Amino acid sequence: MGRGASAEVLLDDAADVVLKPRTDRRDYKCVVLGNALQALIISDPDTDKAAASMVVNVGSFSDPKGLEGLAHFLEHMLFFSSEKYPEEDSYSKYLTEHGGHSNAFTAAEHTNYHFDVSADYLEEALDRFAQFFICPLLSADATSREINAVDSENSKNLTMDMWRMNQLTKMVSSKDHPFHKFGTGNLETLDIGPKSRGVDTRDELVKFYEANYSANLMRLVVYGRESVDELQTLVHDKFSSINNTGRKAEKFTGQPCLPEHLQIVVKAVPVREGHNLEMMFPITPEIQNYTAAPSRYLGHLIGHEADGSLFALLKKLGWANSLSAGEIDSSLEYGFFMIAVELTDIGQEHMEEVVNLTFQYVRVLQQQGVSEWMFEEVRAVCEMKFHFQDKRPPISYVTDLAGNMLLYPSRDWLAGSSLPRHFDAEAIAGLIDQLKPERVRIFWYSKQFEGKTSQREPWYGTDYIIERIDDSLVEEWLKAPINEKLHLPLPNVFIPTDFTLRDPEPKVEHPLILRKSEMSRLWFKPDTKFRTPKGCIQIQFNCPESYYSPEASVLTRIFTKLLVDYLNEYAYYAQVAGLNYSIVTTGTGFQVSVSGYHHKLITLLEKIIDKVVNFEVEEERFSVIKEKVMKDYLNFRFQQPYQQVMYNCSMLLEHKRWHINEFIEVLPSLEGRDLTAFFPRILSRIFFECFIGGNLTANEAEGLVEQIEKTLSDGPLVKARPPFQSQHTEQRIVKLEPGADWYYPIAGTNPQDENSALQTYFQVGQDNTHTNVLLELFVLAAKREVFHQLRTVEQLGYVVFLMSKNDYGVRGTHFIIQSTAKDPRGLEERVEVFLEQFEKDLKKMSDEDFKKNVDTLIEIKLEKHKNLWEESRFYWGEIEDGTLTFDRAQVEVAALKKVSKEDLLHFVAQNIARSSPIRRKLSIQVYGGQHIPEFKAAKGEVSQEKKLNGTHDAPENAAPVLDGKLATRAAADRIDNIYTFKRSQQLHESLRGGRNVAYA
């Protein structure tokens, strides 16, 4: 049917048959519009946010030769403007003004667009969204600019191993299959190359759009507060005009790998430290038999970590830090099963034996036969997770569902492949048989291969070499005797059976202090909203001895990692059964988090505490963990520059924080005996703060905390005692003086990364309701304009954003920009120019527009938590910061209703404006590989060449020339040493352990 066809039908009576979770109260309806667009409509009367996602059945596989990245580039371009809404970026502006946001991604065979917005504004948001697919402008001016954004996005990925190795697996495949392609695109593929051949990229973009963006190739999900019938009318009105050209989805038949791409080892040099082994096998994709779930069954067993598993054996041998298994990169036609192992240094020397043991485990599965009880256990866990799943943010929900609509019949649009339905031993056995040595593709990544490679991947520059695996080695892998330690896992005793909902007592809206002593404080909040059989427990153990020196901090980190290591075989069963736990180091000790079904939650936590008090150092595991921690520290230098500026900002602001370079310095000399000697000091003085929420009773909560106190106080190795008053937790932030204008220039830690980055931070002050809301109003009003002006118009880089910042209750805002277009001082000047213009625009803002911003922020603040984890995370954040404003939304909304435009103008003039004599500014500047000369100038260094020529660099506070203008830098102060700077500054008071709470 052509444009404007209006007849529509229900899809397979799907309104009645869509399989949904038993606890899901939303209404679903599936329809087909007259133009053959299929839509899933979801009505949720309780939602604060509406959302939509459109998936188009075309992706990077369809890129024309010589225009790699065209599908991805089109995804970028559709955001700009349309015939109906010609103002550039008006779509994103509308969403931002109404509490929403948007994004998109391009996959191999589809492209997904999605947004959310405050529920009252869905209709116009949908109308604007629909124009992507009806009449986009794709203007020549925007096209020429946005190519730079695609190139900047690709530039960001060049030093990331995930992207580099993913492309390498494509490189080592058939050139005749689109799997071989480079899908992101860059300046060469989208601009320079086409121009050299006389090809107009915009013309090709329009042709690609018109050829592929047909209504029958699209799937739409709309989520709103209205009834399904009202939403259906909206969908019909907004999307029926999408043209249906009748184009059929392109099918990519054949296999990506020919015989010469199997039985090989590809050795490659990564950017980061570490050794990784990936065994990939071409398989029949699970989508062809998803109700039997053969890949899920096989991934569950090969990826298992309990006693008898492949990983448990590799860990005991000291050869592996982690192992995962499952299907990846699958389509309707092909798939790959991957077993990924992170090798230790010793494991790197035993790669062939690691592979040998892997094939031994595969043979265990073959010899034992496909186990129906194991399948039923997998099915039971999957059913439990599906039927008791938590509500998610609508935007992520609709995005996933739209993708499902391309793959599954309408009945399974919600479930996808998450619900194994029937036992098919033949299908599972057939999949296991495909994991043969002669079919393996081994990708082995290590810096040990530097200088030993002969080829370079063209798009990311990864050095590699391909070697055939000898038939004799294949024969050895096929016939090696099976290690007696390899066997199937035991039945999982952690699978919950008690889903009883307890009556919440006491019925309170916010956490209350249920119990406190000299050693602990217990916050309790029963579940009064979500009525789900789950709980959440957070415990912050504050140990004064744990962070008194870099050595103490490193040893505490190794202690927590060893705890996780020792618990793994026991707790892995719990994780499979829907219980999650983590043990991490903090700046004041360590934190234990446990969440999931309440039935076995306390059992798991008691086991963790038992491991804490009975902790002993195993020398072999200490060495393995030490090696892993050192690699983590060393890999910091390969973080993105924008991540480095944020790290250094935290270093400059947090009073008590050791630098990662100090950890790297002290770690090599530390031994197991050091941790044995130090561990008693960690627990010698301890205070723990605990939050318990969800489907647990007050008696259970109190009993648990009493038991933890008793266990710590009567430990077999250490008798823990409460800390002295002088040892209680402090979280203090540097208090920048009025008029402060500091900048901290540093060279990027990865010379191969051309990107520079800037973080410009404006400190406002300690948690205060009035200034909090004005700060957030400023960010809301400015952040869309920041993105549009600095990213879209000026094309400074792909990473450009403005956000509020909260450091233990000290509020501020910061600009983050990563760029190859300008050095950090150039970026900083563009920020200042933007702020000058924004202040002028703010003065011209109408009262009506100001009220719109206030109303939008009120809607954002009143948005309800969607699940227990969101609620618990908010409460725990207030407890961690020491602010304890559990009714923050209501308090700040009341304040928002009283603020005026003049209040906001005064706030900006005092705290943000360049002309303010009292604003507090701190800029962190990371200079990338191509901006080293600018870095030397920022540091005030004089180059040898200029000395010889009798000239000098500008002095430290001289004004650099930027964009032909003289930038004001006279009042700025350079930071040369983090600790010298911090010692010279005042500090904000600590809210934690301070005025907001008196410890018992």
Catalytic center residues: 75, 146
* Bond from prior residue into 506 cis (ω within 30 degrees of 0): yes
Q: How far is Cα 443 from Cα 660, in angstroms, rounded to an integer?
A: 31
Contact 223, 397 (CB under 8 A): yes
Contact 333, 254 (CB under 8 A): yes
Indicate the burial class of 87 (C-beta count within 10 angstroms; 0-12, 13-18, 19 or more).
exposed
Q: How many CB atoms lie within 10 A of CB 995?
A: 9
Cα of 622 vs its chain's centroid, Å: 29
| Residue showing tokens 């059989």 | 533
Contact 909, 639 (CB under 8 A): no
Q: At what angle do helices 550-576 and 672-684 cross, to 10 degrees?
A: 90
Q: How far is Cα 642 from Cα 653, in angstroms, rounded to an integer?
A: 17
Residue among 80, 74, 42, 41 at smallest CA distance from 59: 74
306 token code pair: 């309990």
755 token code pair: 């990107």
943 token code pair: 């180059």
Q: How far is Cα 343 from Cα 348, in angstroms, rounded to an integer?
A: 6
**Do β-strands 756-766 and 920-927 pair in parallel, antiparallel, or remain unpaired?**
antiparallel
**Do β-strands 741-747 and 920-927 pair in parallel, antiparallel, or remain unpaired?**
parallel
Q: How many CB atoms lie within 10 A of CB 316?
A: 14
Residue among 723, 712, 650, 667 at smallest CA distance from 978: 650
Indicate the burial class of 415 (C-beta count within 10 angstroms; 0-12, 13-18, 19 or more).
buried
Q: Which residues on adjacent β-strands are paired with residue 267?
A: 444, 465
Residue among 360, 371, 361, 489 at smallest CA distance from 429: 371
Contact 520, 701 (CB under 8 A): no
Q: How far is Cα 766 from Cα 412, in angstroms, rounded to an integer?
A: 50
Cα of 478 vs its chain's centroid, Å: 40
Contact 634, 628 (CB under 8 A): no
